[in-house]
Structure 1
């Protein structure tokens, strides 16, 4: 059973274009198979070659077909492309003496390798009306390859800077890699990695190399924010909640009289220019807005790039709209005003659950996202995110960086295990799984599932008092985009309180049943936060896959049983039926909904919650054998 290696930083020979391109190509073809794009997998015919290998026979236009070597996988899809990825292109033989249609050993094959060549051949599977979306995705792939090759070139110098600033990893007791500055360093390590399942996550449309070097987290730069003064009556939000250092228009070099009539709003440097001018024109503010020529406030980009950390006030981050798209051409990195409201509402909702469940008071931390401004446009908005105090001596590691490579070539998770768990990787994972599943199944019992994926969830490590265990906590940010079963929430909190806590702008958040909520729990909490690291650790030979998945299932089952014991009812039964015992699980089809097909074709109300299905790797009878390495 092969593991999932798609989240590694390089493949083949690190730092070589061939290895990096091969890794990306494998991830891309795996994704097309997993999402069954254009019915690529289900229309194909499985064949076995004389050498014992498995192949897919895929028909193309014009009487040709291709053979794709595949192997068993198990993480969200039964198969994946065998490495190195190659196609064999053949002419269809229609003679009476021709081999049977499922034969694969037909002479005259033309071998095809390389990103452009393989994707060019597979274009023959795409219906004519869908080729524009496919070609856009090929463009994403090329952008991702260019960025990955850039990462290969700059990574050694960036890691050297981090080591000089923070010290070596694994960290010794002391200030190295601690607090919010250390968190940004871990996010930089994470930025060199790929998304667990989205193959072109490094692509950022519209930004060239100079823009990335100056503003992307993998380069760990510092840069000043730009500002614009908008009429106060045009801005929604409470200025009294802003940080004390927030500039006045006069402080930005504008006329002093504007202090009475205008409010300064931050703008990402990459949004200044035509995008900002168009936003002002669309809102009718082009005549009354006053752009400041003077930049102010040094910031450092976080893993999401559009969110930046204030250098001199490290507990404050600003989310600033960008015109780029990531994880699909329709996934634009602007900030829709409604999402600011939704993030605040979701935060208060989760806080209400934590208040009812005191064991999470000291183990789950939430960022404060109740301060925000907008002028009615997705490029004229900002979120002021505040982190809780008391993190100075902790190590804050995003889940996305848990398996990142340290400057000396090891894994961050191993360095943390060495520092906090006596070198016992399993003890670290066990503590993490226990807390993760306890918290999220408790939310689920209240009808809530969060989009708290690997980028939005961090682990907070802290030494306990002498003779005690390490203190491990979850830190969750970016609260908008959950799914909430309003009826179940009302049953838990009471109708009045639930209604007060459900004032979401995006009405898709509220559902009339449990299924949309459990789908988010499965695809985010289980697939991305729990299973993806397990499969990758197995692929790296760090532990047998069946051991890791067995541990995951045990802690998940324990959380479901606890839910059933404290709150008997349908939710625990539903989780058992739809997750622990189901033959197949929902799987995000992010490429299909985000780039390949328009919403009219997919029917996806939300491109981030459009699903296909994959095998349930948690079923005891299907737990893979061996390490997967």
Structure 2
């Protein structure tokens, strides 16, 4: 409830913060919230990450001295400030909070058992030994880091553990925090109703006959379906498309998979370099943030990938340091629940599994012969940024474990390498007019060793929701820009730097860098001023490299990010749950903003 109250203050939901008055008491600062039934007092403290203040506790105090506690007590009291037309959204958010709490309790009860099975269950050894360490390597080991990350709260959205519409048994069976394995269901659809290139599918892709439907081999194509969709809303989706007569759901489940941090994306057990992104009839990070897959987003992901490949081709330093998942292969039948994305990760060449352990694992540098030039994931630790502040099975932070393995235990050195590459890449993209939604779940750190030295790379996926200043892109690329702007969602293309800078600030700065700095400081790993100073220094260096770039890109980033008094902040609760789009004015629930203090500005 402290996180919920802090989010409502940050977004000034229903004017709670701007209508509040400050109050100083013996135990610290308070806010006097003005509610229709009388004032309520909220204890607050200084924060600085996206808002000047945060709730000090998860309780409210009434004028008579009694306290409102818990979801029902606190949100029941705040509900009196909600306009009648906004009550459905507020009540839905209250339900999210209840489910988030239930999920958190379930996770707390199971975490020790689940985490105890990670790593060694794939490699056959105990954590801290050579065999167990190898189990954390490559795309297979990345799934274990995804599981660790799933126990972390979202940096901004307070009810991020809620998955609306799913029951406890379904969450246990399919959510990444429980590391389950399961088999997919398959739907045979007539070829003429499926968009996509069957020739591009993996060689193991089943024919209908492999699924027990041999008479359909010549006329139908198999589409993977998540069990949660097959057992629920699939029939309605087929009716909506008029396919209930021609489609056939195979009775035989086929293809063992395991969920990634995204949950709707699953990794193929026998082909770990291939993931399948499948629509789910649920919502996360807000009731309006549905987990279906509009066919247009599949097109946008492929276009975004080509755009990034064009940038990499013009900057050789990124060819060895930025890895892009291949998201060009996809199928759909014209419905949000009838779609599949085939995501392929780079395999590269060479590589040595032993590199995963760093210099202290399996003969150190001697085991790395042939690794130089490898562009894949073999032998590397592949860690989503969302997992860096999570805890390993031995209780250490993932970031500390990586620093120990690759940087001699120097956390600052690891963070410096990460921030240098992260900010160099994203400021370069900004010079082209591009900002990615590559948040802490879509960006992974890839660490291995080359000739005895640590090598840090970035792995990016889900490039279907960027902001692109088409004017700036055309100024840099000329006529080539037109071929790289074929996005289905026209909201992606804008005509100025402002919307692009907003995504740069809210995703790259806040979620991939600032949130990590504040969390590491909270956990006592380093002083916050030191971490923020490091972040500002690396960002300033990256921006300085843009001096002379077309369109004064460096000047824009200095004015709008480095030296701005305030920065945009995602209003995720307001846009995603509390208000309808008509009431909030949000055209995109993931790109609707308020503002907060710039913790990077000089003198902060």
What TM-score results when the alignment is normalised by the length of structure 2? Answer: 0.93
Shift of 1:170: 6.0
> Is residue 2:43 matched to residue 1:66?
no
> Is residue 2:105 matched to residue 1:149?
yes
- Aligned 8 A contact 1:450 1:481 in 2: yes
Distance in 1, matches of 2:128 and 2:510, equals 27
Shift of 1:620: 1.7
- Aligned 8 A contact 2:119 2:144 in 1: no
- Aligned 8 A contact 1:169 1:415 in 2: no
Paired residue secondary structure (1:60): coil
2:281 is matched with which residue? Answer: 323
Structure 2 unmatched ranges of 5 or more = 348-375
- Aligned 8 A contact 2:181 2:256 in 1: yes
1:46 to 22, 41, 52: 22
Structural mapping, 1:75-474, within 5 Å: 75-83=49-57, 85-90=58-63, 108-165=64-121, 166=123, 167=125, 175-254=134-213, 256-389=214-347, 390-466=376-452, 469-474=453-458
Distance in 2, matches of 1:139 and 1:48, equals 33
- Aligned 8 A contact 2:62 2:68 in 1: yes
Distance in 1, matches of 2:300 and 2:477, equals 19
After alignment, is 365-374 or 257-266 more displaced?
Answer: 257-266
- Aligned 8 A contact 1:171 1:177 in 2: no
Shift of 1:61: 1.3
> Is residue 2:573 matched to residue 1:591?
yes
How many residues align? The count is 573
Shift of 1:171: 7.3
Shift of 1:114: 2.2
Distance in 1, matches of 2:129 and 2:506, equals 33
Distance in 2, matches of 1:52 and 1:141, equals 28
Shift of 1:180: 1.1
1:101 is matched with which residue? Answer: none
Distance in 1, matches of 2:222 and 2:601, equals 55
* Cα gap change, 1:163 to 1:352, in 2 (>3 Å): closer
- Aligned 8 A contact 1:170 1:418 in 2: no
- Aligned 8 A contact 2:119 2:136 in 1: no
Distance in 1, matches of 2:558 and 2:502, equals 13
- Aligned 8 A contact 1:171 1:419 in 2: no
Distance in 2, matches of 1:563 and 1:435, equals 14
Paired residue secondary structure (1:474): strand
> Is residue 2:552 matched to residue 1:570?
yes
Paired residue secondary structure (1:620): coil
Shift of 1:273: 3.4
Distance in 1, matches of 2:196 and 2:129, equals 41
* Cα gap change, 1:237 to 1:87, in 2 (>3 Å): same
Cα shift readout 1:9-35 (whole Å, capped 9, x = no counterpart):
xxxxxxxxxxxxxxxx11111100001
Distance in 2, matches of 1:202 and 1:171, equals 33
Distance in 1, matches of 2:546 and 2:119, equals 44
* Cα gap change, 1:435 to 1:169, in 2 (>3 Å): farther
- Aligned 8 A contact 1:170 1:416 in 2: no
Structure 1 unmatched ranges of 5 or more = 1-24, 91-107, 623-629
What TM-score results when the alignment is normalised by the length of structure 1? Answer: 0.90
2:535 is matched with which residue? Answer: 552
- Aligned 8 A contact 2:120 2:127 in 1: no
- Aligned 8 A contact 1:236 1:373 in 2: yes
Shift of 1:164: 3.3
Shift of 1:517: 0.4
Paired residue secondary structure (1:609): coil
Paired residue secondary structure (1:330): coil
Shift of 1:372: 0.2
Paired residue secondary structure (1:563): coil
Shift of 1:163: 4.6
Distance in 2, matches of 1:251 and 1:353, equals 41
Runs of 4+ in 1 over 4 A off after TM superposition: 166-174
Distance in 2, matches of 1:488 and 1:170, equals 50
